[in-house]
Amino acid sequence: MARRVVITGIGAITPLGYTDQLWAALMAGRSGIGPITRFDASAYPCRIAAEVRDFSPDPWLPRKESRRMDRFAQFAVACALMASADAGVMWPEMDLDRVGVIMGTGIGGMGTLVEQSAILAERGPDRVSPFFVPMMIANMASAQVSIITGARGPNITTVTACSSSANAIGDAFRTIQRGDADMMVTGGSEAALLPLSIAGFCAMRAMSTRNEAPARACRPFDANRDGFVLGEGGGALILEELESACRRGARIRAELLGYGLSADAYDVVRPAPGGAGQILAMQRALQDAGLRPDAVGYVNAHATSTPVGDREEIQAIRAVFGPYAAELPVSSTKSMTGHLLGAAGAVELIICVRALESGVLPPTINYEQADPECEVDCVPNVARAQAVAVALSNSFGFGGHNVSLIARRWEG
CA 256 to centroid of chain Cα atoms: 16
Give the HSE-up count for residue 404: Cα atoms under 13 Å, Cβ half-sphere: 30
How far is the C-alpha of 355 from the C-alpha of 10, rounded, in Å? 13
**Which of 162, 202, 352, 378 is flagged as catalytic?**
162
Query: Could you count the other beta carbons within 10 Å of the beta carbon of residue 28?
Result: 14
**Which of 79, 202, 218, 302 is flagged as catalytic?**
302
Distance separating the N- and C-terminal Cα atoms of the chain: 20
Whether residue 401 lies in the annotated active site:
no
3-state secondary structure the chain: CCCCEEEEEEEEEECCEEHHHHHHHHHHCCCCCEECCCCCCCCCCCCEEECCCCCCCCCCCCHHHHCCCCHHHHHHHHHHHHHHHHCCCCHHHCCHHHEEEEEECCCCCHHHHHHHHHHHHHHCHHHCCCCHHHHHCCCHHHHHHHHHHCCCCCEEEECCHHHHHHHHHHHHHHHHHCCCCCEEEEEEEECCCCHHHHHHHHHCCCECCCCCCHHHCCCCCECCCCCECEECEEEEEEEEEHHHHHHHCCCCCEEEEEEEEEECCCCCCCCCHHHHHHHHHHHHHHHHHCCCHHHCCEEECCCCCCHHHHHHHHHHHHHHHHHHHHCCEEECCHHHHCECHHHHHHHHHHHHHHHHHHCEECCECCCCCECHHHCCECCECCCEECCCCEEEEEEEECCCEEEEEEEEECCC
Non-local CB neighbours of 282 within 8 Å, separated by 6+ positions: 260, 316, 317, 320, 392, 394, 404
Cα separation values, 211 from 12, 50, 217, 227, Å? 27, 12, 8, 12
**Which of 202, 339, 352, 401 is flagged as catalytic?**
339
As annotated, the active-site residues are: 162, 302, 339
